[in-house]
Amino acid sequence: MTRFLLYAIPVALHIFVLFEIAQTKIVALMPKWAWFLIQVVPVIGPILWLVAGKNPRKFKRDSGPDDDLDFLIGL
């Protein structure tokens, strides 16, 4: 059973991350095709996606209200 889990968990994580990259519209740090290539690395690729690529808002610079489209439309 342990041997099965050692193979099943990384495969399930890899499949989950591939679907998540495909469904994500905005990614951080690199384009989507680069994230797909990183997924070739067995365990490190999915972990990198979950840590660095999943949430691009963490890497977004602070901007003024004039950079916000919703704010400008409301004027």
Residue 45 has pLDDT above 80, yes or no: yes
Residue 57 has pLDDT above 80, yes or no: no
Portion of the chain with pLDDT greater than 90, in percent: 11
CA dihedral over 40, 43, 45, 46, signed as positive or negative: positive
Residue 58 has pLDDT above 70, yes or no: no
DSSP per-residue letters across the chain: -HHHHHHHHHHHHHHHHHHHHHH-SS-SSS-HHHHHHHTTSTTHHHHHIIIIIS-GGGGPPP--GGG-HHHHHT-
Round to whole Å and give the CA distance between 65 and 51: 29
**Which of 12-16, 18-22, 44-48, 53-57 shows the lowest mean pLDDT across its residues?**
53-57
**What number is the average pLDDT over the span 30-43?**
87
pTM above 0.85, yes or no: no
